[in-house]
């Protein structure tokens, strides 16, 4: 029987097929905590100590080649500060390669006028192309998913006629074919898979009419968004006399009731479709700033999924937003207070190219994992 101890910061383990043999494990009899057991059992590690040690943020399991160079195409397992030993979550290769970069583009907001200008730019953008295709049931990856399993797309109805509804769906661009098949056929297994569960929930203006949304209990509006049209969101605002929600900058105190209903709707969806329970690690957050091509308010929901340090500065938890609005403060104050308004982003991200955004150049990425 091989017992393992807390790794020091210089230790890195490559999750290879030979990993079990290297440890010489004969049997596995781990804790009943499912978050810890899931990863330890996957590696064939038996940790039967009475007290589990905590790891610091530098503990990452990553595959390396013989010369010690990390293979980011395999993703990585990370353990967050303050979580128990063995509670490793996977970062998929697409996310890891996006954030584990030498340099970052730095955006620095110093005053609310910059945020007002950015909010105006967002209102000039149309709804994202993929969202229009979904709403109109056009031919696309997501539409194919929902035809195979209609329960994957759920709608949280507006709290009243002045509120937006929210469309919940898998974040398909970050899923490979095998994972997408699991969403369709066995969604309840995903929470215990290395991929975890990744959803994206989009605000839907009440003026938008769609048979797809009607089938999910959305009350029809008087406007039809056609996939061939490029309607700025402010045009929808003017026709319906109700502002679109294009980013967290659009959120005000009157949206709290709907945000709380959204949280409950997502938790119910996770329970009913994915069998997610209290022992699972659930995160709900908005990104800010966002690219123009995705500029409609959308909430990310992750279950049992790892994160990269570079993603965290621009991730605003749903509960943080709700508490901030309930305190009577504006979202702009929250944005300016976060890290003194400084937001490092992947250089590949188009956010730095938005007209007038306070882009401060390319700088070394100090938020990388030490692999």
Q: Is 89 helix (H, G, I), strand (E, B) or coil?
A: strand
Q: Is 169 helix (H, G, I), strand (E, B) or coil?
A: strand
pTM of the model: 0.83
Write the pLDDT tens digit of every residue in 140-180.
Answer: 999 999 999 999 999 999 988 889 999 999 999 989 999 99
DSSP symbol at 140? S
Q: What's the mean pLDDT in 299-321?
A: 94
Report for 60-64, 149-153, 223-227, 305-309: range of highest mean pLDDT: 149-153
| Predicted confidence (pLDDT) at residue 54 exceeds the cutoff of 70 | no
Longest dimension (CA), the chain: 70
| Predicted confidence (pLDDT) at residue 8 exceeds the cutoff of 60 | no
- C-alpha span between 303 and 10 (Å, rounded): 29
Look at the alpha carbons of 307, 129, 332, 244 in this order and tell me if their dihedral is positive or negative: negative
- C-alpha span between 45 and 78 (Å, rounded): 16
Comparing CA positions, the residue from 363, 310, 342 lying closest to residue 78 is 310
Q: Which two tokens stand for residue 13?
A: 């383990």
- Residue 282: φ, ψ to 5°: -110, 130
Q: What's the mean pLDDT in 64-87?
A: 79
Write the pLDDT tens digit of every residue in 95-135.
Answer: 999 999 999 999 999 999 999 999 999 999 999 999 989 98
Say what the pLDDT of residue 1 is.
Answer: 30
Q: What's the mean pLDDT in 208-218?
A: 78
Say what the pLDDT of residue 98 is.
Answer: 94
* Lowest mean per-residue pLDDT among 62-71, 132-141, 214-223: 214-223
Q: What's the mean pLDDT in 272-276?
A: 97
- Residue 217: φ, ψ to 5°: 70, 30
| Predicted confidence (pLDDT) at residue 220 exceeds the cutoff of 90 | no
Over the chain, what is the mean pLDDT? 83
* Lowest mean per-residue pLDDT among 112-126, 235-249, 260-274: 235-249
DSSP calls for 204-255: E-TTEE-HHHHTTTPPP-SEE--TT---BHHHHHHHHTS----SGGG--GGG
- C-alpha span between 358 and 22 (Å, rounded): 51
Q: What's the mean pLDDT in 204-219?
A: 79
Going along the chain from its start, the domains and CATH numbers come out as 19-91 (no CATH), 103-364 (3.30.428.10)
8 Å CB contact between 277 and 270: no
* Lowest mean per-residue pLDDT among 83-87, 124-128, 332-336: 83-87
């Amino acid at each position: 029987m091989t017992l393992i101890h807390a790794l020091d910061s210089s230790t890195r383990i490559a999750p290879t097929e030979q990993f079990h043999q290297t440890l010489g494990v004969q049997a596995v009899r781990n804790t009943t905590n499912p978050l810890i057991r899931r990863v330890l059992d996957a590696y064939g590690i038996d940790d039967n100590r009475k007290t589990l040690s905590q790891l610091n943020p530098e503990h990452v399991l990553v595959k390396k080649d013989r010369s010690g160079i990390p293979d980011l195409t395999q993703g990585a397992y990370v353990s967050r500060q303050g979580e128990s030993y063995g509670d490793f979550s996977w970062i998929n290769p697409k996310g890891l390669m996006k954030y584990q970069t030498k340099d970052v583009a730095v955006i620095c907001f110093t005053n609310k006028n910059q945020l007002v200008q950015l909010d105006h730019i967002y209102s000039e953008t149309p709804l994202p192309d993929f969202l229009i295709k979904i709403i109109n049931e056009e031919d696309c990856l997501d539409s194919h998913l929902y035809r195979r399993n209609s329960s994957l797309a759920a709608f949280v109805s507006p709290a009243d006629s002045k509120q937006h509804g929210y469309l919940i769906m898998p974040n398909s661009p970050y899923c490979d074919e095998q994972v997408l098949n699991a969403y369709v056929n066995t969604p309840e297994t995903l929470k215990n898979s290395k991929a975890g569960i990744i959803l994206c929930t989009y605000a839907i203006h009440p003026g938008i009419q769609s048979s797809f949304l009607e089938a999910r209990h959305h009350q029809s509006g008087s406007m039809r968004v056609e996939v061939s049209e490029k309607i700025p969101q402010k045009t929808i605002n003017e026709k319906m006399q109700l502002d679109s929600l294009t980013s967290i900058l659009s959120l005000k105190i009157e949206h709290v009731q709907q945000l709380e209903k959204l949280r409950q709707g997502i938790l119910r969806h996770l329970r009913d479709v994915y069998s997610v329970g209290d022992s699972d690690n659930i995160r709900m957050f908005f990104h800010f700033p966002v690219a123009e091509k995705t500029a409609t308010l959308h909430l990310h929901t992750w279950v049992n999924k790892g994160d990269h340090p570079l993603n965290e500065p621009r991730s605003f938890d749903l509960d943080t937003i709700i508490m901030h609005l309930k305190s009577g403060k504006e979202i702009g104050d929250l944005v300016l207070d976060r890290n003194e308004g400084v937001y490092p982003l992947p250089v590949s991200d188009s956010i730095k190219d938005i007209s007038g955004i306070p882009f401060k150049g390319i700088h070394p990425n100090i938020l990388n994992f030490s692999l």
